[in-house]
Amino acid sequence: MGVAGSVATSTVRRNEILETAAQLFASRGLRTSLQEIADACQIKPGSLYHHFESKEALVVELIERYQAELEQIADAVSYRLEDADPARILDSIVEFATAIAECAGRNSAAVQLTFYEPPAGAAPELAAAANRRSTAVQNTMVKALEIGRDAGLVRSGADLTSIADRTCQSMLHAGLGLFHRHSAGSVAPVLARMIFHGLAVKSPRNPELNRSAAFLAVQDVIDQWPVDDPDPSDRATFIRSVARREFGRRGYEVTTVRDIAAAAGLGSGSVYRVIGSKEELLASIMNGFADKTMAGWEAALGSDSTIVEKLDAAAWLQINVMERFHDEFRIQLAWMRQVPPDMPRFGWSVSALLKHLKSELAAGTKSGEIRTDGSSAELTARCVIDLTWIPENIVRDIGKRKALDIARDTLLRGVATRSA
């Protein structure tokens, strides 16, 4: 075999390794070993090391390949926008959003590794790749929205920067396993329709939403959340509080019971006697977090309110969860990276929530309060749940009340200008 043939063969094998590793990382997380990747490729570990010096080098290349593809999509769309027909800009945005979602679906492992913080102790190259945030996609989305605003198709006064950020992140969720077995190509148009046209048939006003029974019921749940100032004499509660902080700061993967004990000023034996194993401690923390979140959903959906008011209240709940339980949220993201994405979450009765929400959405559609696009009830419900979440950086950057306005604009009212 000549030099060219050897290079071609090496390139093919390298790509095979990357694709196999991507599938394993997407289903098993970073716990996947090089031995498992080599076995799946039916090669010896030594042959794998010929192409990648370490598992982290392989992960870095997957991330860089994904980020380069996103950049290419943004560049191509940005170029086309120069001659775009303003009257078709919303269609162009949906096509752009779908391309982002499909890219995320093709690069699911890399999306997971960049959406969540890298494990504590990760090599500098991996940490830099995982934390790198390309602005090209968001900037191109802002550009498209500005064309729509100038054409009178996107509401004036809307926070286009936050809306673009929210839209792009929602499309990337297609690579996180949050939509079960629905393809990215089927998810993106449903999300985009909700974001741009809203679910509510009549555009709701903030004062009425703020006074709804659902909103007040959720606020009552939020007001009952305990102050995070545990009494050291209550050892179980105190240890959970310290562990929550340590898991959030260090990352669950590398935090040991000894680390938690040291931070709590206790011996490791005391932690084991009071709480049990590290896994039991994590379950205790996350079940409490999930119970609080689900109590809010139950208060919203069980209130004497319209479906629009209930969804608005659910969005307010999620914003407060993000702001109040920051450590638990980070722990959940890190844990999601370590397990198959379709495994049940701690304490979450996803199937029960979906069933209840599907019933509410069906009733709201029948009564004429909301409009859906005819997609399956399950996909619609999953998209609604996803859009009740506002990205953490948006809540942090603009505050809870402005984040609620973004939620209302992108779930209920829609970003597009409504006809009179």
For residue 69, the SS3 value is helix
The pLDDT value recorded for residue 339 is 47
Q: What is the mean pLDDT of the chain?
A: 85
DSSP H/E element including 81: helix 55-81
What is the Cα 228 distance to its own chain's centre?
Answer: 25
pLDDT tier at 349 (50, 70, 90 boundaries)? low
**Residue scoring higher pLDDT (247 or 92):** 92
| Distance set, CA 10 to CA 48, 50, 62 (Å) | 11, 10, 17
**Residue scoring higher pLDDT (228 or 53):** 53
The pLDDT value recorded for residue 47 is 82
**Residue scoring higher pLDDT (417 or 179):** 417
Q: DSSP letter at 66?
A: H
Q: What gap in Å lies between CA 415 and CA 420, rounded to an integer?
A: 15
Checking if the pLDDT of 160 tops 90, the result is yes
pTM for the whole thing? 0.84
The pLDDT value recorded for residue 44 is 86
Q: DSSP letter at 157?
A: T
Checking if the pLDDT of 336 tops 60, the result is no
Q: What gap in Å lies between CA 221 and CA 107, rounded to an integer?
A: 38
Burial of 229-260, coded b for 16+ CB within 10 Å and e otherwise, reads ebeeeebeebbbbbbbebbbebbbbebebebb
Mean pLDDT to the nearest integer, 93-102: 94
pLDDT in tens, 270-311: 888 888 788 787 777 777 788 888 899 999 999 999 999 999
Contacts of range 130-133, beta carbons closer than 8 Å, 24 or more positions apart: 130/63, 132/63, 132/67
Of how many residues is the chain composed?
420
Only one residue has tokens 């995982």, namely 130
The pLDDT value recorded for residue 290 is 80
For residue 154, the SS3 value is strand
Which residues, at least 6 apart from 236, have a Cβ–Cβ distance to it below 8 Å? 274, 275
Domain 1-53 listed as CATH 1.10.10.60: yes
What are the residue ranges spanned by the domains of the chain? 1-53
Checking if the pLDDT of 77 tops 90, the result is yes
